[in-house]
Structure 1
Amino acid sequence: MTSDHSDNWDLHTPEVQAMMGVFALHWQLEQRLNDARLGEQLGRMECHLLLLLVRPCRMGELARLTMKAPSAVTAGAGALERQGLIRRVRDADDGRAWLLELTQNGHARRRQLVADASEVFYETSGLTREEARILAGLAQKIHNKAVQSGAVGPCEGDQT
């Protein structure tokens, strides 16, 4: 009998196996993305906002999607705005509200960030593109449930 940790995998329930896999992937991605310095000159929140801004979006919606306090999104948006990666524009549907949208430099930075993060994801996870597509669907369901329940993630600098 080998000392391979997978020998004990079947002793755990599917729920524990899923949690172990999610935790391991999270920890590995967190470390690899930090090591790769994908967000050079950008903090974690700024990288998260860049990844989410595929279309103009209100800061309240970004706070909900990132599961962060609005103040964390405001600070991240300010940093991205100072770097010329986003701009604030009035919401055409509600002139009182502001939207964040990527600038031309922001779109270029986002494309590079997505490409680099995708490469790290596949190297770290060992998943195929089809497996990643399946995981993405499951992760969306999990994320939606967490957002609906009002979950709030840790802020930059919080102990995890």
Structure 2
Amino acid sequence: MRPARPLALLMLLALAAPLGACAGSHDARAWASQVCRTLAPWRTEISSLTTRTQQQMTTRTTPGQAKENLMTLFGGARDASEKARAGVAEAGDPDVTDGKQIADGFVASLATMRDAYGRARTGIGALAITPAESFYDQVAKVVAQLNQDYQAGSLDTSDLKSTELQQAFDEVPECR
């Protein structure tokens, strides 16, 4: 059996990139504050799931154990992303130029991330655990696709077209 250590590094890379993003009722500051309060637990949950999976995957595990661990990770990340998406949707639209478009973009990004995790969970679930070498090669492909899907929907407040929202995200304590 091949050690799962490279798999842990792939998982960390797949989940670490979006953790730096911050986003989230009506005036710019209030909306940003609410979105950031919504996204903080999401980021924490994704980070926690990543850490736990990395710890589990750095020890020698069977393909069956690795499959179970990854399905738990991706299912948890999918559920956390849906909770964050719903919370951001509840924030409504900021009262800024193109506020509805901006809010819709945040919601869509989180839906894309939720769906990416769901597809990764389904992909891992469909893998045969024997032979082990083939299993780990296929896991790497699922994780590579997750990275690609995730990047397509990643949240980035640095490119907002609203100066008011950029300033709000930079200033409200919940976003720091």
Q: TM-score if structure 2 supplies the norm length? A: 0.24
User: Going by fraction, where is strand more abundant, 1 or 2?
Assistant: 1
Q: TM-score if structure 1 supplies the norm length? A: 0.26
User: Going by fraction, where is helix more abundant, 1 or 2?
Assistant: 2
